Structure 1
Amino acid sequence: QDFGSWQLLDVVNGSSNQYYHMDVQDNTSYCYRIRAISNSGKTSTSNKTCFYTNLPNLPLYINADYATVENNSIHLSFTLDTDATICNYQLWRSKDGINYNSIANYNVCGQRNFEYTDNTANIEERYFYKLVSFDQCNNVRLESNIATNIVLKAQANEEVQNLLNWNAYQQWLAGVDSVYVYRIVEDAAPELILAQLAGSTSYFDDLTNIVMQNPSVTNKFCYYIELTENMGNPYMVKGRSKSNIACAYQFARVFIPNTFSPNGDEINDIFKPSTAFVDKEGYLFEVFDRWGNIIFKTNDSSLGWDGKSGGKFAPSGTYAYYLKYKTLDGNYREKAGTFNIFFP
């Protein structure tokens, strides 16, 4: 190498008639001789041949900017070395982060960005992507950092909360900076409900205040999250990744008190069920006296019994009720019981 002393490069089978010297250095002189050795130890040496390497420029870097969900597909962006003159790239995808398959080729030099939309991906599954550079001999020379999509899952619980879980993002060069959680209710615009530094991959969304302010609110709550990259990416990129939209469905809640006191103090003056995630249609609420007579009836879930029968307050004692309602998924439910009225 560079006309220095001779060194043994490799030993190969005697039947070989070609050899690839890998990982040669650029702008360097290399001289070669072949020496054959017989089984008896006799040798034969070839002539000397020399080469000077003047290699094309391979990419010095590939940055995976982001993998993000757009229009039910996964959109990817990569920042490339614009000085490269060998621009043979393959986009690799994996479901386990170990076994990769090529899904696209890119062979353009001088462009700073390569973007690709993976329309075959299921956005509710996690994928690992990387862009791989090959030399003119089709050998892998450089791989980008990994880019993974974010998969969000949402589940309702009995505490009028929705639990959100998502996978950690891999793997921005500057690390993950912040997480933003958005909620979508009915046809309203997405509402930012959480903005914090990254770290946690779960969140409980307490819906109590929403239900109290609007008892007829839908039971369907949808979410998506966005993650952002820290400042300091060496290629002046700040990645941003959006998850799939995940929805949770709250089940109907009905609470009926066991007593009330219609004495005009504005505390427990009206007897009515408290409902959440119940359809306005198909609602029936009835109150009976001790002899089974209907003394109050309504199909309006916002109305309740004021304690009067025939224009006068009913006497203290035990009464019965019957409630029929329809859940937001179209199923009917019934509930019956007793309660007490008293005048303190």
Structure 2
Amino acid sequence: MTAANGIEVGNFDATVVACVGQQVDVKDLSGGTNIKYVFGYSGQAISALPGIPAKDGPNADWAFAQPANYIVLQYGKKNGKDMYACKVVTVRATNKPDVSYEACNNSILRLTIRDTPANNYTSYRIKWSDGSIVNVPVATVLPYTIQKSFPAAPTQNVLVEGFGSTLTSCPAATPMTIIMDRGDMFPRIEKIDLNEAGTEATITLEGNPDAEYNIFSRSIDQQGNLANPLPNKVKAGTFKMPVTDKTKSQCFLVARLGTVCSEYSNEVCTMPFKLEASDDDNKLTWNGFTVGRVPKTAAYTNINQSETKIIRSEDGTTTSTTFNNVSSPFLDDAADCNKKYCYTLSTKVTSSYAGYTGSTYIETAVVSQTQCIDRKTIVPDALTETVASVNDNNTVKIDFRDNSNWKLDIEKYRLHQLDNSSFEKIDSIPSTASKNFLDGSVDASKESYCYAIDFIDKCGSTSALSPSFCTIFLSEASKNELVWTDRPPFGDTGIDTFEVESYDEHTGAISTVISLAATQLKYIPNLSKFEEEAKFRIKTTGSDGTISYSNIYTMPVSVKLLLPDAFTPNNDGWNDNLEVKGTFRRIANFDFQIYNRWGNPVFSSDNPLRTWDGSFQGTSAPVDTYTYKIYAKLFDGTEVNKTGRFLLIR
């Protein structure tokens, strides 16, 4: 540890090399207080130290039960600040020095005494199986490497000893039996693990800890080529490699290419998988490992067998389920489709390769990425067959047919109405109900309303919204000119024709006035046959024959009151009576007055249908010019006044 703001650096003396079971002594050199020691510290946060077993200082001791390199952490107080220090202690199983080696061709052995804390001996001695001895001089700088050739043999026994700091409590070093066609430090990939995105592989490589290896990478469908290693070399341990195409298996191997001997690891490929919904089950598919030689490999790797298991975890819980010995495709029919699940494939691959042949196999763990599926995030295709039509009372009826082809049972359908720029849910019906909605909250005589429909299945998946569809709104743009909106009332079909329909004032019968193209959005009707009001609506026909109706629009008919310029009350059967002509159904009150030339009234009536026969007080009125006044008050309060003259001729 190094000092940081507010932290003091401690100091202590410690036994740096010990054997299993031997006491490791520590002695404080810091002068701090409240000192404690953690034997086997593994990088926990400072805040976690109070919960980690520790021995009180300033001096302490500990015996480790397993050989390894251990960190001893000292912490306490100094100068009012927190104080920390740490040292590494090497615990040996024996007095054997730490070595690495390579062997090949049953005849060549390259041995290295490594530069590690365990090798704190003064000098070393190597005894070869042929009886020869190499004494490594005192003060030789490590690492020390030596190569020796032997007559071809499957194994060699080699003894390496250290002197000068031999621990009496440790067993003496014993000879190593080295397999000469590969050695125990031959490179082998023991695990390959994909990240969650499937774009990076973490590889665990066993091998010579001092060696640097070339690494080769290819897609499973590419031919391997040992002439083109990647630019960076790797060492034994774990390292990360990019995956160029996460939908395909990516294969990796390492090699050390020497002038005398070359070493190749097993080639191991990732195993990505596809996770998707299949009805109310979850389906996993992948390309498994085939027994036999890895396809297109550049270095011999033969798969003896593979065994895949699936680990399924339930999101938000510690519950997990393992499915053993599975093959692709795998259908998880035990999953509850209302829950979110995560899946990982783990495959144990048993193989032989350049360094492990015959009856000797190695096992490699191939772990896929973890993929999760939440059925609520799956969006089924929208239904599209919809139609909106305005009822006579200006409510809106919406009919639909579910043509989404979604295989799961539907729980409910939902109706959405366009509000400003977004759709808001306004109603829902169970899937067992008739396929229609009634929007009684609107007045379709005032504007056009747009809708969309979606559904929710039994797994909680919500479909995409249907294409929007809108009521046709009929109104009057200018005097006696009908206009209507053009947004289709159908979800998935365009408009073929518009028909202007009218209502008979007396019977209510509907008839077609005119049929228009889909691009024509206005029409001036003939109102002459109407007396009080003219009612119209638009019948819209889709390209598939679907029909929708607009709101009914009423055009008030102007009251017309007409009087002839002359009449002839001579009993000849023609034009014998003076009659007011026009439309009277909108009239609530009526007054008709006729005056002679001196302004005296000669006829009056409050009934527009009553006629004047040209008589006054029982005698025929004289031939002359007469004036009249007509007053009418309509039901909507409008008043009509008309005056004029006419001739009475006999």
Give the TM-score range, shorter chain.
0.5 to 0.7
- Tell me the CA shift for residue 191 of structure 1: 2.0
- In the alignment, what sits opposite 2:39? none
- Consecutive unaligned residues of structure 2, counting only runs of 5 or more, are 1-197, 199-218, 223-242, 247-272, 278-282, 288-342, 346-364
Counterpart in 2 of 1:92? 416
Deviations 1:103-144 (A, max 9, x none): 345674xx7974222232332322221224679997876332
Change (3 A) 1:331 1:118: closer
Contact 2:389-2:397 within 8 A present in 1 as well: yes
Query: What whole-Å deviation, never above 9, does each CA across 1:128-171 have from its counterpart, x for those lacking one?
Result: 212246799978763322211122225894xxxx4332212424
Q: Give the distance between the partners of 1:175 and 1:112, measured in 2 at CA.
A: 27
User: Quick one: structure 1 residues 252 and 137, their matched pair in 2 at CA, closer, same or farther if it must change by over 3 Å?
Assistant: same
Q: 2:525 aligns with which of 205, 213, 229?
A: 205
Q: 1:298 to 1:72 in 2, by over 3 A?
A: closer
Counterparts of 1:277 and 1:228, CA distance in 2: 37
Deviation at 1:66, TM superposition (A): 0.4
Aligned-pair CA distance for 1:241: 1.5
Match of 2:452 in 1: 130
Residue correspondence of structure 1 range 198-237 to structure 2 within 5 A: 198-199=517-518, 200-210=520-530, 217=531, 219-231=532-544
Counterpart in the other structure of 1:43:
none
Hey, what does 1:77 align to over in structure 2? 399
After superposition, give the CA deviation of every residue in 1:210-267 in whole Å (9 maximum; x if it has no partner): 4xxxxxx4x2333333322223xxxxxx532222233222342223344445567777
Per the alignment, residue 481 of structure 2 pairs with 163
Alignment of 1:249-264 (within 5 A): 249-260=556-567
Quote the Cα distance in structure 1 between the aligned partners of 2:397 and 2:274. Answer: 36
Distance 1:8 1:32 in 2: 19
Contact 2:380 2:461 in 1 (8 A): no
* SS of equivalent residue, structure 1 residue 292: coil
User: Are positions 1:145 and 2:460 aligned together?
Assistant: no
The within-5 A match list for 1:97-136 is 98-105=421-428, 108=431, 114-123=435-444, 124-132=446-454
Q: Which amino acid aligns with 2:555?
A: A
1:63 is matched with 384
Who wins on radius of gyration, i.e. which is larger?
Answer: 2
Superposed CA RMSD in Å reads 4.5
Q: 2:495 aligns with which of 176, 197, 206?
A: 176
SS in 2 for 1:142: coil
Paired residues in the alignment total 299
Q: Which moved more, 1:257-266 or 1:294-303?
A: 257-266
1:87–1:3 distance in 2 versus 1, CA, 3 Å: farther
Secondary structure of the corresponding residue to residue 464 of structure 2: strand
Opposite residue 205 of structure 1, the aligned amino acid is P
- Identify the residue that residue 507 of structure 2 maps to in structure 1: 188
1:29 is matched with which residue? 286
Higher strand fraction: Structure 1 or Structure 2? 2
CA shift in 2, pair 1:229/1:291, >3 Å: same
Ranges in structure 1 where 5+ consecutive residues have no aligned partner:
10-20, 34-45, 211-216, 232-237
Give the C-alpha shift of residue 67 in structure 1: 0.9
Q: Distance in 2 between matches of 1:300 and 1:113?
A: 54
Looking at structure 2, the residues matched to 327 and 197 of structure 1 have their Cα atoms a distance apart, in angstroms, of 35
| Identical pairs, percent | 21
CA distance in 1: counterparts of 2:643 and 2:275, whole angstroms: 83
Structure 1 length-normalised TM: 0.66
Q: Is the 8 A contact 1:164 1:202 kept in 2?
A: yes
CA distance in 1, matches of 2:501, 2:478: 16
Pairing of 1:259-338 with structure 2 (within 5 A): 259-260=566-567, 270-277=577-584, 282-308=589-615, 311-312=619-620, 314-315=622-623, 317-330=624-637, 333-338=640-645
Q: In structure 1, how many angstroms separate the alpha carbons of the residues matched to 2:635 and 2:478?
A: 15
Aligned counterparts of 1:3 and 1:140: Cα–Cα separation in 2: 38
Amino acid at match of 1:131: I
Which is worse superposed, 201-210 or 324-333?
324-333
Q: Which residue of structure 1 lines up, in the alignment, with residue 368 of structure 2?
A: 49
